[in-house]
Structure 1
Amino acid sequence: MKKKYVLVGTGGRAEFFYGALVRDFQETCELVAFCDANQTRLNYANKLLKDKYEVSEINTYTADRFDEMVETEKPDIVIVTSMDRTHHRYIIRAMELGCDVVTEKPMTVDAEKTQAIIDTIERTGQNVRVTFNYRYAPHNTKIRELIREGAIGQVNSVHFEWALDTQHGADYFRRWHRDKRNSGGLLVHKSTHHFDLVNFWLDTEPDVVYATGGLRFYGKENAEERGVTKFYERAHGSEYAKEDPFAIDLESNEHLKSMYLDAEKEDGYHRDQSVFGDGINIEDTLGVNVTYKNKAILTYSLNAYLPWEGYQIAFNGTEGRIEVRVREQSYINSGGNKSDEGKLSEKSIRVLPMFGESYEVEVEEKKGGHGGGDPELLNDLFGVPKEDEFKRAASHVDGAISILTGIAGNKSLATGQAVKVEDLVDLKRK
């Protein structure tokens, strides 16, 4: 029997899920309704269903009619791809109404909302899945395999450097993510992927977190140092924006225009705010130290204004070292070809035994985003899951543990103190 799905939040990330549902999983799934705070955006999602995927339009409900949607459509599963700070609201209410949930990462943005989700799962017995597609990328799975098989013995330390370039990285400072209340900042919204990978690779959990950093490049306070002397609030309609390499033109991209510019009349949301404007309170330069329950340590950095996109990692073990270098295809969310998301332009995994010759590890890539990882994630969610020796499917506990590293990091940034992760949330594990 087909499972019925509804989706709440039809912004930039939503099509990854609903497009797959109607294109690839019609035998196992039925998409029955969309929900969003903006009717124009709802109508555009329906237009994409009809014009791009050649399927019938579905019922739409505004956000204040979420309960009505669930009661009327009777879905088995609610997919949550709304603004991060609203995730908990829909996750909790969906479970209270008897539905399971698939949620985009991050599961939520702070400890209080995390606890509320955990408590609701305990109370209702419903299931929550968090969509960590990075786990499924072949090179990331291979790293887990190498560590599990003892290629470098016991891993004692990890150095993890993540680089966001001036196309992708800047985009977080144009959008709603620029306000930490909406996104939890990059330590939660973006780094949850990376912290989850470390948990996944080392098969452990964070214990103590210390973070430092700040807004060092973007924001009005840094504009003069960047040579910015002409200010504008948003790019649309601004002559100054035409001279700004960080500006995006919503009018010139039909997808961005339809999803955001045409929808402004309803909610006033500007997708093209200046990265050197007011109202930015998230960090663009971050360093984090983590001690794990298995005694391994992590040094992590994220910078959002670099000339290339990707990451470099070194795993140091009792019998050697693994060095990883990955460069990814940069993109603007909702502004480009989503099939290019996570596309690799360079990838290297090298094992350096303590005694013996170093060697390069070959990884087979497949068709689809993140080296073929995205289709595997989608099949796990919507198709017939295959037996997975690496246990890549992420539960609500995985979702919570990954964001708790970032949430602890945010608390550390605010207090200047190291934070014990287990003091933040009771995961209610027996």
Structure 2
Amino acid sequence: MMKKKYVLVGTGGRSEFFYGAVVRDFGETSELVGFCDINQTRMNYANRLLEEKYEHPQISTYLTSEFDEMVANEKPDTVIVTSVDRTHHTYIIRALELGCDVITEKPMTVDAEKCQEIIDIVNKTGRQVRVSFNYRYAPHNTKIRELIKRGTIGDVFSVNFEWALNTQHGADYFRRWHRDKRNSGGLLVHKSTHHFDLVNFWLGTTPETVYASGGLRFYGRENAEARGVTNFYQRAHGSDNAKDDPFSIDLEANEHLKEMYLEAEKEDGYQRDQSVFGDGINIEDTLGVMVNYKNKAILNYSLNAYLPWEGYIVSFNGSKGRIEVRVREQSYINSGGNKDDEGRLKEKSIKVLPMFGKAYEVDVIQGKGGHGGGDPVLLQDIFGTPVNDEFNRAASHIDGAMSILTGIAGNKSLNTGLPVRVNDLVKF
């Protein structure tokens, strides 16, 4: 079997999930041949991890200005994109133009204009863009799709979906580059793309109209001042005020974060440990969204990023009954620890309540690994030998677009106070 050759753009926190899997588990089918980043220090650290942690030879590195040169030299089949969200479209588009396929971290991009550019270049080149929606592959989420697909509760008319981020996980989006909506599209795009994709996947439909409300209610300097906070700082490193702040993160105390971010600051100035109660935050932490779907179902969705509990509660109301789901997840910060602990389930339940009949619990195999057991299955699907998947969990650029367009429409609705038609945002 010919090995597929991969290069990776963006060697930050999420990148090791992909390159570590390629060299550790898929050497028979896959070959990693190049790193690309704006930061040479960070690429050097990724190469040291390859050598010391995975016993793999170091590979060639290229600055982002040398992207074309990398593709010409390394001749990859596929480019893996794990850079800052606002740059995803740049590397997706150029990779397709140069004859490569793409695997991209979610979200595919952050606004409608960039989304349209990706759609257009896929149509022009005929190349493939794969979006890595690992939650689709978690056994409990696949089971929900199976129950709905086989008509367990008939036609689904409405969905209530609450996602809770706790003060460890949720706060981290307000320390990092995500805190600027220009970088991430806000949580409605960066984080909720997972959740909106799950609804599309579960119901087998796509969004039609979106209305959103919310704002920055907990994090940010103004909110902290209103609660009487006085010990402000802009970043934790070197600040005495940060030492007693439970929301701070100490880069010096974590060797992984120190090498990946603190020691790389000299090149790009990026500060990984900004205060969640500092200035410069323009994303929301409290969000409510209503979505009408093409199959006439409606969704009531909420996301809060400062809670004492991590996980989600979702209920499906149908013509023959109701499904209730409760999933508690283990919070994490991307800290270089055991990646299998990311999103590990602490509890889960799926309960079916027939309209006329006795309610019952649905047994689901407990998946191992991150995102509720979805990560290993996703990686096998991407890098391993292809197998038939009756649930069609592999997500295309269309799936990627339909998930982010819900969030993009939500952002537009936040700005205007009006509902937004998804079909008005892009043309397929």
TM-score by length of 2: 0.99
Question: 1:136 is aligned with what amino acid?
Answer: Y
Counterpart-to-counterpart distance in 2, 1:108 and 1:334: 24
Find the counterpart in structure 1 of residue 293 from structure 2: 292
Separation in 1 of the partners of 2:116 and 2:350? 38
Alignment match, 1:347: 348
Matches within 5 A, 1:263-274: 263-274=264-275
Which whole-Å deviations, capped at 9, do the CAs of 1:44-66 have from their partners, x for residues lacking one?
Answer: 00000000000100000011111
Q: Look up the equivalent residue of 1:374 and give its one-letter code.
A: D
Which residue is equivalent to 1:242?
243
| SS of 2:225 mapped into structure 1 | coil
Aligned to 1:16: 17
- Preserved contact between residue 210 and residue 412 of structure 1 (Cα < 8 Å): yes
Give the whole-Å Cα distance in 2 for the aligned partners of 1:20 and 1:279. 36
Q: Deviations over 1:82-103 (max 9, x none)?
A: 0000000000000111100000
CA deviations over 1:276-300 (Å, ceiling 9, x no partner): 0000000000000000000000000
Indicate the residue corresponding to 1:321 in structure 2: 322
Q: Which residue of 1 aligns with 2:413?
A: 412
Change (3 A) 1:213 1:371: closer
Give the deviation of 1:379 after TM superposition: 1.1
Question: Take 1:372 and 1:247, find their aligned partners in 2: how far apart are those partners?
Answer: 29
Amino acid at match of 1:180: K
Distance 2:348 2:391 in 1: 21
State the match for 2:174 in structure 1: 173
Structure 2: distance between partners of 1:297 and 1:335? 39
Give the alignment of 1:40-189 within 5 angstroms: 40-189=41-190
Partner AA of 1:182 in structure 2: N
Aligned match of 2:392? 391
* Deviating more after overlay: 330-339 vs 15-24: 330-339
Q: Quick one: which amino acid aligns to residue 389 of structure 2?
A: D
Q: Give structure 2 stretches of 5+ with no counterpart.
A: none
Alpha-carbon offset, residue 375 of structure 1: 1.2
Task: For residues 167-215 of structure 1, give each alpha carbon's deviation from its aligned partner in whole angstroms, at most 9, with x where no partner exists.
Answer: 0000000000000000000000000000000000000000000000000
Q: Measure, in 2, the Cα distance between the counterparts of 1:342 and 1:388.
A: 23
1:367 shift after superposition? 2.8
Q: Which whole-Å CA distance do the structure 2 matches of 1:64 and 1:195 have between them?
A: 34
Alpha-carbon RMSD across the aligned residues, in angstroms, is: 0.8
Counterparts of 1:73 and 1:285 in 2: how far apart (Å)?
44
Other-structure match for 1:338:
339
Contact 1:103–1:129 (Cα < 8 Å) also in 2: yes
1:219-256 residue CA offsets vs partner (Å, 9 max, x unmatched)? 01101233320111100000000011100000000000
Question: Residues 175-324 of structure 1 correspond to what in structure 2 (within 5 A)?
Answer: 175-324=176-325
Equivalent residues of 1:216, 1:222 under 8 A apart: yes
Change (3 A) 1:222 1:425: same
8 Å contact from structure 2 (residues 135, 372) kept in 1: no
Residue 28 (structure 1) shift: 0.6
1:400 paired residue number = 401
CA contact (8 A) 1:80 1:104 kept: yes
Structure 2 CA distance for aligned equivalents of residues 227 and 246 of structure 1: 16
Amino acid paired to 1:159: N
Any gaps of 5 or more consecutive residues in structure 1?
none
Distance 1:336 1:228, change over 3 A: farther
Question: CA-to-partner distance for each residue in 1:80-137, whole Å, 9 max, x for gaps?
Answer: 0000000000000001111000000000000000000111111111110000000000
Please list the CA deviations of residues 339-366 of structure 1 after superposition, one character each: whole Å capped at 9, or x if unmatched.
1011000101000111111001110123
Name the amino acid aligned to 2:36. C
Contact 2:197 2:402 in 1 (8 A): yes
Cα 1:332–1:226 change in 2 (3 A) is farther
Contact 2:163 2:313 in 1 (8 A): yes
What amino acid does structure 2 have at the position aligned with 1:314? S
Query: 3-state DSSP class of the match of 2:261?
Result: helix
Q: Which residue identity is paired with 2:179?
A: R
Amino acid at match of 1:13: R
- Aligned positions, number: 427
TM-score, structure 1 normalization: 0.98
Q: Is the 8 Å Cα contact of residues 197 and 399 (structure 2) preserved in structure 1?
A: yes
Give the distance between the partners of 1:335 and 1:180, measured in 2 at CA: 26
Opposite residue 327 of structure 1, the aligned amino acid is: R
Residue aligning to 1:38: 39
Give the secondary-structure state (helix, strand or coil) at the position aligned to 2:183: helix
- Would the aligned equivalents of 1:328 and 1:346 in 2 still touch at CA under 8 Å? yes
Instruction: Name the CA distance, whole Å, in 2 between partners of 1:327 and 1:227.
Output: 32
- C-alpha distance in 1 between matches for 2:112 and 2:372: 33
Question: Aligned to 1:157, what secondary structure does the other structure show?
Answer: strand
Measured after TM superposition, the shift of residue 335 of structure 1 is 5.0
Corresponding letter in the other structure for 1:426: K
Q: How many Å separate the matches in 2 of 1:35 and 1:335?
A: 20
| Contact map agreement 1:13 1:334 (CA 8 A) in 2 | no
Task: State which drifts further: 227-236 or 210-219.
Answer: 227-236
How far apart, in 2, do the equivalents of 1:286 and 1:382 lie?
35
Alignment partners' CA distance in 1, 2:192 and 2:348: 20
What is the DSSP-based 3-state SS (H/G/I as helix, E as strand, rest coil) of the residue aligned with 2:242? helix
Change (3 A) 1:20 1:335: closer
